[in-house]
Copies of this chain bind each other. A is one copy, B any other.
């Protein structure tokens, strides 16, 4: 089974997720500037979630470069990742509409945690079917960034109930961490002469 259609399907789902999130920004009836104010937290949540989905799309793109053949476990690990990412618009909308209240902020962290975990499982599935000498296995190494993100999400969930602002800070911090270009896969691909 080729990977082109898996990429195309994932692209489609990610493009739709990133775009329907904007539907949470409900058009206000009044035409005054003040009518936009209740939307500010929804907008902030949208911005954060847009960046997260964009990061996932970017990382997914690189990950797929290392895939030679798509096994059933890779296919379902990919679907599992898309499932958790499909919940981001819901969690993002709930967090935004409730002005970053404790419970929605914790749920947002939980969805990010599960998406991160699903991404880790997808990496495992790719490595298992391509062998320890394959590009991906060398590229991710200890995968400090991946595992570190999971630990930070785990930290943010209880913090949402005690110091909500710190949970938000962690979500922003992890996003910024991933925005710094990750060249591990590119370097390994170049080494292997691809």
Contacts and interface: CB of A to CB of B under 8 A. Distances in A.
A15 B16 contact: yes
A131 B107 CA distance: 46
B72 A28 contact: no
Copies of the chain in the assembly: 4
A75 interface: yes
A128 interface: no
A64 to B, nearest CB: 8
A158 B9 CA distance: 35
Q: Which of A1, A19, A30, A87 has the most CB of B within 10 A?
A: A19
Interface of A: 1, 5, 7-9, 11-20, 22-25, 27-33, 36, 47, 50, 54, 57-58, 61-62, 65, 72, 75-76, 79, 82-83, 86-87, 89-90, 93-94, 97-98, 101-104, 107, 179, 181, 186
Given A8-B11, A22-B89, A27-B94, 12 more contacts: A1-B65, A11-B12, A12-B15, A18-B86, A23-B23, A27-B97, A31-B101, A31-B102, A33-B103, A36-B107, A50-B86, A58-B75
5 contacts: A9-B14, A16-B20, A20-B20, A22-B87, A36-B107
